[in-house]
Amino acid sequence: MITETAESLYERMKAKLARLVPDAELRYKAGIAAEVLALKAERDAVILAHNYMEPALFYSVPDFQGDSLDLSRRAATTERSVIVFCGVKFMAETAKILNPSRTVLLPAKKAGCSLAESITAEDVRGLRARFPGVPVVSYVNTYADVKADSDVCCTSSNAAAVVESLKSDTVIFLPDEYLATNVARETGRHVVFPTRTPRPSQDGLLDVQMIGWTGRCEVHERFTVEDIENARRQFPDVVVLAHPECSAEVCRASDFSGSTNAIVRYVQEHPAKRYLVLTECAMGDNIAAANPDKEMLRICSLRCPHMNEITLEETRDALRLNRYVIEVPEEIAARARRALERMIAVG
């Protein structure tokens, strides 16, 4: 397999990123990217990169870039021996569950997620005992054991479709409080949070069509309606795009809410010249690089510390040192796989 030289990588990256990344940094990153590509070929690896990856990584080494759903599908079908997941741990675990014979590497040791950490499998079993027979939908931003105790998973791309596919009056939807509220609104449901309402069954379970949990994304929970109002005051023509992990108030005050891929597509397909992106700042950079005629406003004081652990340097070291290998015990993986495959079948 022929790999690119540092010089040709530098030219390719410069064509996309000259306005966003200083030249000296581009040259340095191109050198690391060339090492990554050589190691990728040597190890027969595929590199999957979430939309939140830093621009120098996003526009150099990945075979595929996308949102959680997209990358899960790519992971499930790759024939390469090694999957390097440039994202966070729950995403790498999902790849391992869907394609267990591959070696899956996460380039940072931790790269967690506040949503995944907000709920345990024991919590899920507790809810099942409390609401017998009610199907459990778990956001893909959960760890393998939580998925294993769920009926079906969803991502922000397909959450409403997954809920509707269950044809059940009442659904347990975990663990993101804000995503649950937004999906409840989209599917015409009423949502309660049992950790706040101690005995929702006494309020009449038949009236409670979505039972949520109170996990939150530590990044998206911090965007406010005031941020939107400030941007609109300064730039009356701005189009506001919010990820559905933002609060219902923020999503309502925005012009569009959707998964990271849906936000990328929205900017590509609309003629407006200025956008405010309420999600991880690096994605605003990546969209700006692909749409040089459009201005992307972003709030870079709010970053995902977990996604930001993944860099070109860590990706190179992951391939060189075979780290950090993701393992999921088969007993858990088999049950989690059912929930994930059911989600992929919904679309």
Which residue of 65, 118, 165, 260 would you call a contact of ligand 13P, by CB under 6 A?
A: 260
Nearer to ligand 13P, 36 or 140 (CB): 140
- 259 forms part of the interface with ligand 13P (CB under 6 A): yes
123 is in the binding site of which of ligand SF4, ligand 13P, none (Cβ under 5 to 8 A by kind)? none
- 141 forms part of the interface with ligand 13P (CB under 6 A): yes
- 138 forms part of the interface with ligand 13P (CB under 6 A): no
Which residue of 95, 210, 282, 304 would you call a contact of ligand SF4, by CB under 6 A?
A: 304
- 117 forms part of the interface with ligand SF4 (CB under 6 A): no
Which residue of 71, 152, 160, 219 would you call a contact of ligand SF4, by CB under 6 A?
A: 219
Nearer to ligand 13P, 68 or 254 (CB): 68
Cβ 300 to ligand 13P shortest distance, Å: 15
- 217 forms part of the interface with ligand SF4 (CB under 6 A): yes
Pairing mode, strands 210-211 and 191-192: parallel
Nearer to ligand SF4, 157 or 165 (CB): 157
Cβ 85 to ligand SF4 shortest distance, Å: 12
114 is in the binding site of which of ligand SF4, ligand 13P, none (Cβ under 5 to 8 A by kind)? ligand SF4
Cβ 306 to ligand SF4 shortest distance, Å: 5
- 218 forms part of the interface with ligand SF4 (CB under 6 A): yes
Q: Which of residues 140-199 bind ligand SF4 (CB under 6 A)?
A: 141
Report the 3 state secondary structure along the chain. CCCCCHHHHHHHHHHHHCCCCCHHHHHHHHHHHHHHHHHHHHCCEEEEEECCCCHHHHCCCCCEEECHHHHHHHHHHCCCCEEEEECCHHHHHHHHHHCCCCEEECCCCCCCCCCHHHCCHHHHHHHHHHCCCCCEEEECCCCHHHHHCCCEEECCCCHHHHHHHCCCCCEEEECEHHHHHHHHHHCCCCEECCCCCCCHHHHCHHHCCEECCCECCCCHHHCCHHHHHHHHHHCCCCEEEECCCCCHHHHHHCCEECCHHHHHHHHHHCCCCEEEEECCHHHHHHHHHHCCCCEEEECCCCCCCCHHHCCHHHHHHHHHHCCCECCCCHHHHHHHHHHHHHHHHHC
Catalog residues that contact ligand SF4 under the rule CB under 6 A.
Answer: 88, 113-115, 141, 217-220, 245, 280, 304, 306-307
Contacting positions for ligand 13P (CB under 6 A)? 51, 67-68, 141, 155-156, 217, 243, 245, 259-260
